[in-house]
Structure 1
Amino acid sequence: MDSNKRRVRTSSTVFFSLFFLSAAHAEDSAELAKKALNPVAAMYSLPIQYNWDQKMGPSNHGMHSVTNIQPVLPFELNDDWNLISRTILPVIDQHGLAPNGAADKSGVGDITQSFFFSPKRPTDSGWILGVGPALLMPTGSDDLLGSEQWGLGPTAVALKQSNGWTRGVLANHIWGLNGSPPDDKEKVNQTFLQPFLSYTTSALTTYGVNTESTYNWQSREWSIPVNLTITQLLKIGGHPLTIQAGPRYWLDSPDDGPQDWGFRAAVTFLFPR
């Protein structure tokens, strides 16, 4: 009888240990999923995002793809503040944008480097904030792939996360610093707006929608793609990452810009502390 009681106690102990370990793991994963949606989370990450668009150029037969490599590096400044570095390095491939393949190019575009000073704690109402400078670097490997100008301006982000929902907006404005840009280039003067909304389920699947709208103050034209995405948090070999895919639709774009439907896919490697 004593032996049976010991076996029951041992089995109960193992069961409850596994239960609480599983619950703790689920809580950790849920927190990781939230951080993956937060542009100013204090977590190292490496998003690699592929975008494909079509119906471009005067013939309406051009295509354009951009693979954005976007490392995120957090730095602790003191007990109250973090500095979040976000880099966007675009790798571009475009075809059919001009007659006789004159604009068929592949290479690197201009880097956008942002720094967000972000309080470690949300506001009393739960908002997470970040503000700082954004720098445009003329790193284009070809004059058709970049602006050939330095640029600088402010950037800011505000978001709130509760009950599975993440909503917020990221924005910047960049002015060209060159006194006079090259003859075939417009002076950089553009505003970027990215409102976003998503919901994360108990299975750590996130359904999201955002726009990444750019307004060119020189040409007075909008570029407005709407992205619909599904994102899943996974662990492969014990290493967390997210995978994402979904369609995009262009509500507005310049005359030779992309039209109708495009596609986005992304993988983000996460490195929690």
Structure 2
Amino acid sequence: MKRLTTLYILLFFAICTQTATAQTKDDDHDLAKKLANPIANLISVPFQNNMDFGIGEFNGTRNTVNIQPVIPFKISDKVNLITRMVLPVVHQENITGLNNIETGTGDMVLSGFFSPSNSKKGLTWGIGPAILLPSASNEFLGTGKFGAGPTFVALKQQNAFTYGLLVNQIWSFAGSGTTDVNQFFLQPFLSYNWKSGAGASAVFEMTHDWNHQSTVLWFTPSINGVTSLGKQKVQLSVGPRFNLAAPTAHKSRYGFRASVSFIFPK
């Protein structure tokens, strides 16, 4: 964990340096604005790492790497299908019990957004299905359930700002898990991008479990920057995580998020 914390600090300074020294580049600015749009017509492969500390009665820690590829498909001249996958890879200690350690994959969520090819006055939206797959390699890291439901995203890009929200609702319908899934997810987001390709963002992530009437709410501000690793375009991002609400047994005292997104412009 100390090595990961050091990596977060180095990434923070790398982004600050890139923000301060980068010259104005229209292509980086355009890529940054597209990445601020969850349903942009752009192939990207983000790896998002979340470190959370002080969880529950045993002062547990959890590290979650979310693998989140986004692949768009052209359905017609007017409609695109934007597919998104989220697969968590988790390592946690002292969460399920003192000295207990679990490592493995969590449940996968696949989403597909049917979206107009062209936005109107910066406003765009997408709607489609969200599918829950029981891909967890450990019973403590997943639900053991197949699930499905609707998902929707709407946003507006105005000058340097992007703001909007993403929602989904998933109900389980099959699987070996003993507890049904009835879960609502809400993600409002706001970002600002400079012409250098650097930016700042703020994201709320709320998950509500209707079966247990419990809510988990995170707030994550971050800074980011688009740069190049050789010929490969990437976006780097880093920031703290604040667990504003959660059941006592699962609440984290503090956390950090860092991510790298590999970008494949058309």
Question: With structure 1 as the length reference, what TM-score do the two structures score?
Answer: 0.86
Partner AA of 1:152 in structure 2? A
Q: Distance in 2 between matches of 1:238 and 1:106?
A: 34
Counterpart contact for 1:211–1:224, Cα < 8 Å: yes
Q: Which has the higher strand share?
A: 2
Aligned to 1:36: 35
Deviation at 1:238, TM superposition (A): 2.6
Deviation at 1:204, TM superposition (A): 1.7
Q: Deviations over 1:10-35 (max 9, x none)?
A: xxxxxxxxxxxxx9x82222211111
2:218 maps to 1:221: no
Per chain length, whose mean CA-contact separation is higher, i.e. which structure has more relative contact order (CA < 8 Å, sep 6+)? 2
Q: Distance in 1 between matches of 2:215 and 2:181?
A: 14
Partner AA of 1:215 in structure 2? H
2:139 maps to 1:140: no
Counterpart contact for 1:174–1:190, Cα < 8 Å: yes
1:182 is aligned, of 172, 177, 183, to: 177
2:255 maps to 1:262: yes
Question: With structure 2 as the length reference, what TM-score do the two structures score?
Answer: 0.88
Counterpart contact for 1:58–1:256, Cα < 8 Å: yes
Question: What are structure 2's unaligned runs of at least 5 residues?
Answer: 1-22
2:93 is aligned, of 92, 95, 106, to: 95
Deviation larger for 64-73 or 255-264: 255-264
Q: Distance in 1 between matches of 2:70 and 2:197?
A: 21
Deviation at 1:210, TM superposition (A): 0.7
Partner AA of 2:86 in structure 1? I
Q: Distance in 2 between matches of 1:37 and 1:126?
A: 13
Aligned to 1:118: 115
Q: Deviations over 1:89-124 (max 9, x none)?
A: 10001101133434x10000000000000101113x
**Secondary structure of the residue that 1:194 maps to in structure 2?**
strand
**Secondary structure of the residue that 1:132 maps to in structure 2?**
strand
Aligned to 1:232: 225
Instruction: Count matched residues.
Output: 244
Q: Deviations over 1:149-188 (max 9, x none)?
A: 0010000111111211010001100001128x634xx311
Question: What are structure 1's unaligned runs of at least 5 residues?
Answer: 1-22
Q: Distance in 2 between matches of 1:231 and 1:239?
A: 16
Deviation at 1:260, TM superposition (A): 2.6
Deviation at 1:46, TM superposition (A): 0.3
Q: Distance in 2 between matches of 1:97 and 1:28?
A: 44
Aligned to 1:131: 127
Kindly report which structure 2 residues correspond to 1:141-220, keeping only aligned pairs within 5 A, or say none: 141-178=137-174, 182-183=177-178, 186-220=179-213
Deviation at 1:64, TM superposition (A): 1.1
Aligned to 1:15: none
2:234 maps to 1:241: yes
Q: Distance in 1 between matches of 2:47 and 2:188?
A: 20
2:68 maps to 1:76: no
Deviation larger for 25-34 or 221-230: 25-34
Counterpart contact for 1:54–1:258, Cα < 8 Å: no
**Secondary structure of the residue that 1:213 maps to in structure 2?**
strand
Deviation at 1:235, TM superposition (A): 1.6
Highest Rg: 1 or 2?
A: 1
Partner AA of 1:50 in structure 2? N
Q: Distance in 2 between matches of 1:99 and 1:121?
A: 51
Aligned to 1:108: 105
Partner AA of 1:175 in structure 2? W
Q: 1:27 to 1:203 in 2, by over 3 A?
A: closer
Aligned to 2:10: none
Q: Distance in 2 between matches of 1:222 and 1:107?
A: 24
Counterpart contact for 1:57–1:98, Cα < 8 Å: no
